[in-house]
Amino acid sequence: MTTAFGATSTTDDVLAGIDLSGKRVLVTGVSAGLGVETARALAAHGAAVVGAARDLKKAEAATAAVRAAAAEGHGAFDLIQLDLASLASIRAAADRLVADSRPFDLVIANAGVMAAPFGRTADGFETQFGTNHLGHFLFVNRIAGLIAPGGRLVALASAGHRFADVDLDDPNFERTPYDPWVAYGRSKTANVLFAVEFDRRHRARGVRAAAVHPGGINTELGRHVGAEALKDMLDRINAELAAAGKPPYRWKTIPEGAATSVWAGVVADADAVGGRYCENCHVSEVNEGVINPISEGVRAYAIDPDRARALWAKSEDLLGERF
């Protein structure tokens, strides 16, 4: 597995010289940011990309560059409607793909929400846990049989998983005081644990799964944070960095942020990334130390196989389906 890539590598760097002709890829969340760039990069290298989005009108406008890249790179691009906050929408989208029966070589579970105010999905789950974890858990499991042997699942997690472990006793904040960052942390830990258990269940048939942290990117994912709160957060971060003799914090560009997704999905050795957490285009080690935006590492609870199995069982109970 190459070690030539890092925090500033872009999607084009990672995919340089790679021909994805004949490969079929599904990417959720293609109406903005990382999802659009991920789809663009893959289509530009010849992949047939299916993009999923809640708002198809918004996605159509946002993915004009994806269609152009697909045409130039002899790839393809299509859209499907998928609202991860609605079990009915998830089941309908999955049913359409299963009926179509064409396999996928890569599924990238990219869509999500961050630090949202308290709310509930259409089916009564806390918004962030319901959308980021349960929505993808149901959708991916319902189409898992379409992932071809040798294929991969990439689940978009975050360094925000270090804010909180999952709470299997109160996943919907029915008894716990709600904090938007704790809820986000729980959902991102769930994304990592889902990849861990999905990988265990499917590796025997040659399908692997990895979780990735894209890095800090200033996209519309942060729309719930607010400009003033974001400025205060950056001021605190930069004060800490200055005290440590380090340069100011730099947001990743969107192509840099999407690079780890395509690296883990296409470039990295499957055995190296399977069941692991990746960032900056490499596999991360366990780090129980300080949380700051430039530190790397994954919390042990997020890759604990027993915790992953327990979350899987809890998720099945909540959804009323077994996989």
Q: Is 1 part of any domain?
A: no
**pLDDT tens sequence for the chain (323 residues):** 445 899 999 999 999 999 999 999 999 999 999 999 999 999 999 999 999 999 999 999 999 999 999 999 999 999 999 999 999 999 999 999 999 999 999 999 999 999 999 999 999 999 999 999 999 999 999 999 999 999 999 999 999 999 999 999 999 999 999 999 999 999 999 999 999 999 999 999 999 999 999 998 876 555 666 777 777 778 887 788 788 788 887 889 999 999 999 999 999 999 999 999 999 999 999 999 866 656 799 999 999 999 999 999 999 999 999 99
Is residue 24 included in any domain, yes or no? yes
Catalytic residue at 184? yes
Residue 3 falls within a domain, yes or no? no
For the chain, how many structural domains are there in total? 1
Query: Which of 178, 184, 277, 301 is the catalytic position?
Result: 184
The 10s digit of each residue's pLDDT in 168-227 is 999 999 999 999 999 999 999 999 999 999 999 999 999 999 999 999 887 655 566 677
User: pLDDT digits over 70-87, tens only?
Assistant: 999 999 999 999 999 999
CB 51 within 8 A of CB 62: no
At residue 241, the pLDDT reads: 77
The answer to the question of residue 51 being in a domain is yes
Range of the domain at 35: 11-319
Examine residue 142 and state whether it is found in any structural domain, yes or no.
yes
For residue 287, give the CATH number of its domain: 3.40.50.720
Tell me, yes or no, whether 91 lies in a domain: yes
132 falls within a domain:
yes
Assess if residue 48 is contained within a domain: yes
